[in-house]
Amino acid sequence: MPATDFDTERTYEEERFSTVPVFRSDRMKVVLGYFEPGQFIPVHAPGSDVAICVRSGRGVVREGDAEHDVEPGDVVVVPADVARGVRAADEDRLEALLVTAPPPTDEEHEPVREGLQRDVFDP
């Protein structure tokens, strides 16, 4: 059984958010996400459900047209095929557990790569 914790895996990058894989199968992907202030996962709509549990910091989780302000202890679940994105507040680092089921395909993550390249949260 994979086991770790946020403190052991903590990795921040200046250019973009960082993730640390915890577990992956054909049915589920679990990562720890670390965001410097203002960093984000661009809005995209893969064919997988996602559960986001905020461990520390503050930010916003986009779910379709809604934006949820989040803080430690909050959990947001976004169903498959609904646009979603995560952005840390401008003044706070954000740490979150992200669980997707099933794991998104490489093709479904193309909007994420494009948004990061263009530095746009909502491409």
Counting the structural domains of the chain, the total is 1
Question: What rounded mean pLDDT belongs to the chain?
Answer: 96
Mean pLDDT of all residues in 48-75: 98
74-91 confidence digits (pLDDT tens): 999 999 999 999 999 999
Q: How far apart are CA 97 and CA 117, in angstroms?
A: 24
Q: How far apart are CA 114 and CA 8, in angstroms?
A: 30
Domain that holds residue 84: 6-117
Q: Is residue 25 domain-resident?
A: yes
Q: With beta carbons less than 8 A apart as the criterion, state whether 122 and 85 touch.
A: yes
* Per-state percent for the chain, helix, strand, coil, to nearest 5: 15, 45, 40
Q: Is residue 113 domain-resident?
A: yes
Q: Is residue 36 domain-resident?
A: yes
11-30 confidence digits (pLDDT tens): 999 999 999 999 999 999 99
Q: Is residue 1 domain-resident?
A: no
Q: Give the model's confidence band at 1: pLDDT under 50 very low, under 70 low, under 90 confident, else very high.
A: low
CATH of the domain at 60: 2.60.120.10
109-120 confidence digits (pLDDT tens): 999 999 999 999
Q: With beta carbons less than 8 A apart as the criterion, state whether 46 and 99 touch.
A: no
> Residue 49: pLDDT above 80?
yes
